[in-house]
Amino acid sequence: METSEIFDGLLGNLKVGDTAVTIASRRDEITKALNKNFRSKDGSTEHQLMVGSYGRHTAVRGVSDLDMLYILPKALRSSYDGDTGPRRLLTRVKDVLKARYTTTDVRVDQCVVRVQFTSNKFKFEVQPVFENDDGSFDYPDTVAQRWKTTKPRDEIRATRECNDRTSTNMRHLARMTRAWKNANGANMGGLLIDTLVHRFFATTNSYDAAGTGSFGLMAQDFFEFLADEPDKSYYLALGSGQQVRVKKRFQPKAKKAHSRCLAAIEAEGKASAGKKWRAVFGTAVPLKAVEAARAFDDTEEFIEDAFPVDISHSLAIDCKVTQKGWRPTFLREMLRKKSLLRADKDLDFTITKCSAEQPYDVKWKVLNRGDEAERRNKIRGQIVEPNRPNGRHERTDFRGEHVVECYIVKDGIVVARDSIDVPISTTSSP
């Protein structure tokens, strides 16, 4: 496939698509319930604003966190002053929405009312606000026990202006970055992604008018830009200048993505190009029929086909390697030392860190790669349950490059993922 075909297909697959209809329906239902309570209006869908990635039009298929402002009547402001005001207001909003959605999980979460729909895996975060004369909004914070200010319209405006200047490439790159973070478990918020994309386009005009045939080079330069960013605890958001927190260092994953971009560009025009771009952006990258054809049973499954993926937490896994007569050691340490696994070893894959709060479900995937796996018709790759408490026990079998991946599924959404390479020398593999 040509580079333009690959990226045209990727961008097409990333579109929110028909889900937008359901999102709009939920948004209007919520607004009607709040307008009836706060304004005594029936059937009104006014006084709301979608913000966040969806409001900036940088969201992708599978988006699960939807940020919505409900703009309150100004006359109510004095009723919710004082340190109890924020909680009283959020409680009122919660009660209104709980009455509308009697079987849905509706709760106050510091600055918003969270409405967790299970039928379509959406989580609406409804934030009641008072609009100020300058277009900013005051919102309630139950932890600080006071009102704070947010400027989402400035962020939406900055996104639109940059997008117009770059021939829509700002939003294209922002969506591609979301595909990368979801495919590779990079714990980055949407506002941070859009801010970094905005900063990237401020450093270069090379891609202001670029077509999709140049998107491989654009991706390569962008990930190099990310990899070279200094460590920061926060950035100043595009447009608003408000602090946006860095949850987890993104530079190591960006460096790996840059290396993979170089390999994919090197493979341009070859049958392997699409597969190499998939290593960067995930299964949204299309493959030609000939690429997908195999002389073996392609049993690999993809988590994206089973659950929406919206990475919002960090996950780290490792593997204890044990063999009779040898001291147990950990696989990541072996990889750092460039040691290879050999035959007859027990592998215990475990979660070492997870920022998501329980309860959640854990899924695993063990994929065998290489000529030996294909010759034996044993590539595996199915999404499976733990066979140890939240872990997975395997035993080496045959040589090749292999990968084990772990997924955290919370409220029906994959919120964290991590993978580890398992290089097997001589006759061995999971």
User: What is the 3-class SS of 273-325, one letter each residue?
Assistant: HHHHHHHHHHHHCCCCHHHHCCCCCCCCCCHHHCCCECCCCCEEEEEEEECCC
Query: Is the separation of the CB atoms in 30 and 126 below 8 Å?
Result: yes
Token reading at 231? 């460590």
Residue 289's pLDDT is what? 65
Query: Is the separation of the CB atoms in 123 and 115 below 8 Å?
Result: yes
Token reading at 152? 């989402």
**Could you tell me which of 260, 258, 186, 193 has the C-alpha nearest to residue 222?**
258
Query: Is the separation of the CB atoms in 325 and 338 below 8 Å?
Result: no
Query: Is the separation of the CB atoms in 185 and 416 below 8 Å?
Result: yes
Query: Is the separation of the CB atoms in 229 and 251 below 8 Å?
Result: yes
Query: Is the separation of the CB atoms in 251 and 227 below 8 Å?
Result: yes
Distance between CA atoms of 382 and 87, rounded to whole angstroms? 46
Q: At what angle do helices 19-39 and 85-100 cross, to 10 degrees?
A: 120
Query: Is the separation of the CB atoms in 246 and 191 below 8 Å?
Result: no
What confidence category does residue 187 fall into, taking pLDDT thresholds of 50, 70 and 90?
very high
What confidence category does residue 290 fall into, taking pLDDT thresholds of 50, 70 and 90?
low
Percent of all residues in the chain with a pLDDT value above 70, rounded to a whole number: 96
Query: Is the separation of the CB atoms in 201 and 170 below 8 Å?
Result: yes
Q: At what angle do helices 251-266 and 169-184 cross, to 10 degrees?
A: 110
**Which tens digit of pLDDT belongs to each residue from 121-169?**
789 999 999 999 999 999 999 999 999 999 999 999 999 999 999 999 9
Q: Where are the beta strands (DSSP E) in 360-410?
A: 361-368, 380-384, 392-395, 400-410
Distances in whole angstroms, Cα of residue 197 to Cα of each of 23, 104, 154, 229: 25, 36, 16, 12
What confidence category does residue 377 fall into, taking pLDDT thresholds of 50, 70 and 90?
confident
Residue 71 has pLDDT above 60, yes or no: yes
What confidence category does residue 62 fall into, taking pLDDT thresholds of 50, 70 and 90?
confident
Q: At what angle do helices 273-281 and 3-14 cross, to 10 degrees?
A: 40
Token reading at 104? 């849905």
Mean pLDDT of 418-424: 89
Place of tokens 């100043």: 236
**Which tens digit of pLDDT belongs to each residue from 302-355?**
999 999 999 999 999 999 999 776 788 899 998 888 776 776 788 999 999 999
**Which tens digit of pLDDT belongs to each residue from 42-59?**
999 999 999 999 999 999
Q: Are strands 123-131 and 65-71 parallel, antiparallel or unpaired?
A: parallel
Task: Report angle CA 192, 193, 198 to the nearest 5 degrees.
Answer: 95
What confidence category does residue 398 fall into, taking pLDDT thresholds of 50, 70 and 90?
low
Query: Is the separation of the CB atoms in 61 and 23 below 8 Å?
Result: no
Residue 246 has pLDDT above 90, yes or no: yes
Residue 138's pLDDT is what? 98
**Exposed, middle or buried by CB within 10 Å (0-12, 13-18, 19+), for 303?**
buried
Q: Are strands 243-245 and 234-236 parallel, antiparallel or unpaired?
A: antiparallel
Query: Is the separation of the CB atoms in 36 and 42 below 8 Å?
Result: yes
Mean pLDDT of 94-118: 96
Residue 430's pLDDT is what? 57
Query: Is the separation of the CB atoms in 361 and 409 below 8 Å?
Result: yes
Mean pLDDT of the chain: 93
Residue 159's pLDDT is what? 98
Residue 40 has pLDDT above 50, yes or no: yes
Q: Round the CA-based radius of gyration of the chain to a whole number and report it.
A: 24
Distance between CA atoms of 31 and 33, rounded to whole angstroms? 5
Residue 379's pLDDT is what? 87
CA count, 13 A, side-chain hemisphere, 231:
3
Query: Is the separation of the CB atoms in 148 and 129 below 8 Å?
Result: no
Query: Is the separation of the CB atoms in 397 and 404 below 8 Å?
Result: no
Residue 428 has pLDDT above 50, yes or no: no
Mean pLDDT of 227-251: 97
Distance between CA atoms of 247 and 188, rounded to whole angstroms? 6
Query: Is the separation of the CB atoms in 287 and 274 below 8 Å?
Result: yes
